[in-house]
């Protein structure tokens, strides 16, 4: 997928159509949409084309539990356009193909993973609004942020890596802690694979890091992150190291993602932050990417099973 090209006028029309709608009207699904169901999905593909000859796969996984629907809402109204247009203008990577995912909890939710196709044009916005804001989750202080890691590792096929040896990007976004593991029975129930054992989060990170640069964005406005900011961050840092990003204003998610990609690709952190014309945005970005360093190169190791 991803054969078309982004057209800013398409986005302008789309954004106008959502401007005066409520969140429930924008995200009208009241259950899992079949086109987003990962159960039995063989592959989500990011392929080069005449209009996107050097595609870069970018996965953005959004927590849709509790009050976290505000993230998807902000992305649908403004953020998605900012993300794509700034990547095209700044060119930290070429020809972005975006896949959006909705993330819940495998222990409590009916739809803990929803996945769009990789798209390069307005179709990604149309698919984003199909995500069901289930608003579930549970009392276990974590959501299933590693479920899209598993899916990306084993159920995506991306030309940037397969043809050019260049990793894609994967960002998960939410306010809770990472789970310790992903049960085999949850993989079977929600994706349809039949692994012989559970996977620890560290194993899943190794698997997905073969093809993707992996980041997590902590939404600091979220209730869980406000209640235990040190605990949430320390558990993520234990898993991801410096690729943990604190987001103080959820409406600036797109700018932070673009900036993280820029820094990872070797650009100076301070210059990246100052490049944003809004002082408020620059401050949010500066705080978010202040601990990031450029990628040292391909991650070593692949888990076999």
Look at residue 35 and tell me if it is in a domain: yes
pLDDT at 186: 98
Look at residue 299 and tell me if it is in a domain: no
pLDDT at 208: 98
Contact (Cβ atoms closer than 8 angstroms) between residue 59 and residue 145:
no
Rounded Cα gap, residues 123 and 35, in angstroms:
13
Q: What is the CA radius of gyration of the chain?
A: 18
Tell whether the model's pLDDT for residue 22 goes beyond 70.
Answer: yes
CA nearest neighbour of 177 among 152, 140, 209: 140
How many CB atoms sit inside 10 A of residue 135's CB?
13
Kindly give the pairing relationship between strand 156-158 and strand 44-46: parallel
Query: 183 lies in which domain range?
Result: 8-289
Rounded Cα gap, residues 241 and 218, in angstroms:
13
Q: Domain with 94 in it: what CATH number? A: 3.40.50.410
pLDDT at 297: 60
Look at residue 89 and tell me if it is in a domain: yes
Report the run of H or E that residue 59 belongs to, with start and end. strand 56-63
CA atoms within 13 A on the CB side of 83: 29
Contact (Cβ atoms closer than 8 angstroms) between residue 295 and residue 263:
no
* CA trace torsion 142, 114, 258, 260 (10° rounding): 30
Banded pLDDT at 300 (limits 50, 70, 90)? very low
Look at residue 305 and tell me if it is in a domain: no
pLDDT at 3: 84
**Can you say how many angstroms the Cα of residue 236 is from the centroid of all Cα atoms in its chain?**
15
Look at residue 207 and tell me if it is in a domain: yes
CA nearest neighbour of 271 among 90, 81, 94: 90
Rounded Cα gap, residues 157 and 45, in angstroms:
5
Structure token pair of residue 54: 């050097």
CA nearest neighbour of 68 among 253, 198, 207, 209: 253
**Can you say how many angstroms the Cα of residue 38 is from the centroid of all Cα atoms in its chain?**
16
DSSP 3-state of 204: helix
Tell whether the model's pLDDT for residue 304 goes beyond 70.
Answer: no
Rounded Cα gap, residues 103 and 145, in angstroms:
7
Q: How many structural domains comprise the chain?
A: 1
Question: For 116-173, how does the pLDDT look when each residue is reduced to its tens digit (9 = 90+)?
Answer: 999 999 999 999 999 999 999 988 999 999 999 999 999 999 999 999 999 999 999 9
DSSP 44: E
Look at residue 302 and tell me if it is in a domain: no
pLDDT at 261: 98
Look at residue 209 and tell me if it is in a domain: yes
Question: For 245-286, how does the pLDDT look when each residue is reduced to its tens digit (9 = 90+)?
Answer: 999 999 999 999 999 999 999 999 999 999 999 999 999 999
Question: For 178-223, how does the pLDDT look when each residue is reduced to its tens digit (9 = 90+)?
Answer: 999 999 999 999 999 999 999 999 999 999 999 999 999 999 999 9
Q: Is the dihedral of CA 148, 151, 153, 158 positive or negative?
A: negative
Look at residue 106 and tell me if it is in a domain: yes
Tell whether the model's pLDDT for residue 68 goes beyond 60.
Answer: yes
Tell whether the model's pLDDT for residue 303 goes beyond 60.
Answer: no
């Amino acid at each position: 997928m991803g054969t078309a090209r982004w057209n800013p006028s398409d986005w302008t029309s789309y954004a106008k159509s959502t401007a005066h709608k409520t969140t429930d009207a924008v995200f009208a699904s009241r259950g899992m949409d079949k086109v987003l169901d990962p159960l039995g999905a063989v592959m989500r593909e990011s392929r080069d084309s005449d209009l996107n000859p050097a595609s870069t796969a970018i996965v953005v996984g959004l927590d849709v539990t509790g009050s976290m629907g505000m993230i998807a809402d902000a992305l649908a109204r403004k953020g998605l356009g900012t993300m794509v247009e700034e990547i095209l203008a700044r060119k930290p990577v070429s020809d972005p193909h975006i896949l959006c995912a909705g993330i819940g909890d495998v222990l409590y939710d009916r739809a803990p993973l929803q996945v769009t196709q990789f798209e390069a044009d307005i179709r990604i916005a149309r698919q984003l609004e199909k995500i069901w804001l289930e608003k579930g989750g549970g009392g276990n202080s974590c959501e299933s942020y590693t479920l899209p890691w598993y899916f990306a590792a084993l159920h995506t096929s991306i030309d940037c890596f397969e043809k050019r040896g260049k990793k894609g990007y994967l960002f998960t976004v939410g306010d809770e802690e990472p789970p310790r593991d992903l049960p085999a029975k949850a993989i079977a129930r929600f994706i349809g694979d039949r692994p012989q054992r559970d996977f620890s989060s560290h194993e899943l990170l190794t698997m997905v890091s073969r093809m993707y640069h992996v980041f997590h964005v902590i939404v600091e406005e979220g209730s869980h992150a406000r209640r235990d900011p040190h605990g949430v961050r320390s558990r993520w840092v234990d898993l991801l190291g410096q690729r943990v990003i604190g987001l103080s204003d959820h409406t600036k998610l797109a700018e932070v993602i673009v900036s993280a990609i820029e820094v990872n690709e070797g650009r100076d952190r301070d210059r990246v932050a100052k490049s944003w014309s809004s002082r408020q945005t620059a401050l949010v970005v500066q705080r978010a990417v202040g601990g990031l360093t450029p990628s040292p190169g391909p991650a070593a190791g692949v888990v076999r099973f």
